[in-house]
Chain A
Amino acid sequence: RKEVEQDPGPFNVPEGATVAFNCTYSNSASQSFFWYRQDCRKEPKLLMSVYSSGNEDGRFTAQLNRASQYISLLIRDSKLSDSATYLCVAYNNNDMRFGAGTRLTVKP
Chain B
Amino acid sequence: DGGITQSPKYLFRKEGQNVTLSCEQNLNHDAMYWYRQDPGQGLRLIYYSQIVNDFQKGDIAEGYSVSREKKESFPLTVTSAQKNPTAFYLCASRRAVGSHSSGNTIYFGEGSWLTVV
Interface segment among B14-22, B74-82, B96-104: the answer is B96-104
A-B contact sample (6 more), CB < 8 A, given A42-B110, A99-B42, A101-B42: A32-B100, A32-B101, A44-B43, A91-B104, A98-B35, A100-B42
Q: Knowing A43-B109, A44-B90, A46-B105 are in contact, say whether A94-B98 is a contact too (CB < 8 A).
A: yes
- B42 and A31 contacting across the interface, CB-CB below 8 Å: no
Asked if B107 is at the interface of the complex by the 8 Å CB criterion, the answer is yes
Bitwise interface map of B from 68 to 92 toward A, beta carbon under 8 Å scored 1, else 0? 0000000000000000000010100
- A49 and B98 contacting across the interface, CB-CB below 8 Å: no
Tally inter-chain residue pairs, CB-CB below 8 A: 48
Bitwise interface map of A from 89 to 104 toward B, beta carbon under 8 Å scored 1, else 0? 1010110101111000
Interface size class for chain B? 20 to 34
- A94 and B50 contacting across the interface, CB-CB below 8 Å: yes
Interface residues of B (CB under 8 A from A): 31, 33, 35, 40-43, 45, 48, 50, 88, 90, 94, 97-98, 100-102, 104-111
Taken together as a complex, chains A and B put the C-alpha atoms of A89 and B110 apart, in Å, by: 19
Chain B residues with CB below 8 A from A45, complex form: 108
Which residue of the partner chain A has the closest CB to B94? A96
Chain A min CB distance to B69 (Å): 20
Which residue of the partner chain A has the closest CB to B45? A96
Taken together as a complex, chains A and B put the C-alpha atoms of A85 and B80 apart, in Å, by: 32
Taken together as a complex, chains A and B put the C-alpha atoms of A49 and B105 apart, in Å, by: 8
- B104 and A31 contacting across the interface, CB-CB below 8 Å: yes
Taken together as a complex, chains A and B put the C-alpha atoms of A93 and B100 apart, in Å, by: 9
Taken together as a complex, chains A and B put the C-alpha atoms of A94 and B92 apart, in Å, by: 13
Bitwise interface map of A from 1 to 41 toward B, beta carbon under 8 Å scored 1, else 0? 00000001000000000000000000000011010000001
Taken together as a complex, chains A and B put the C-alpha atoms of A99 and B98 apart, in Å, by: 21
Taken together as a complex, chains A and B put the C-alpha atoms of A32 and B100 apart, in Å, by: 7
